[in-house]
Amino acid sequence: MPTWIFTATSRTGQPVNPITNAPTESITVYDQADLDRRIAAAESDPRDLAVDVQRIA
């Protein structure tokens, strides 16, 4: 099963991580459908997110 690191960074500087208020957040994604949902959500996010996806397995 493929695994990815999904990183989202706010180009506007707004917090992406609600706990640390950091403008960047990375998570591990284990499912293609979940990855697709996250990419689609990032495209319409008002924080103007830059997304980086790295395949790790």
Q: Where are the domains of the chain?
A: 4-55
Confidence tier at 57 by pLDDT (50, 70, 90) = confident
Q: Cα–chain-centroid distance for residue 56?
A: 15
DSSP designation for 3: -
Can you tell me the distance from the alpha carbon of 53 to that of 29, in angstroms, rounded to the nearest whole number? 10
Mind listing the pLDDT tens digit for each residue in 40-54?
999 999 999 999 999
Check residue 31 and give its pLDDT: 95
Would you tell me how many other CB atoms lie within 10 Å of the CB of residue 9?
18
The DSSP string of 15-34 is -SSTTT--SEEEEEE--HHH
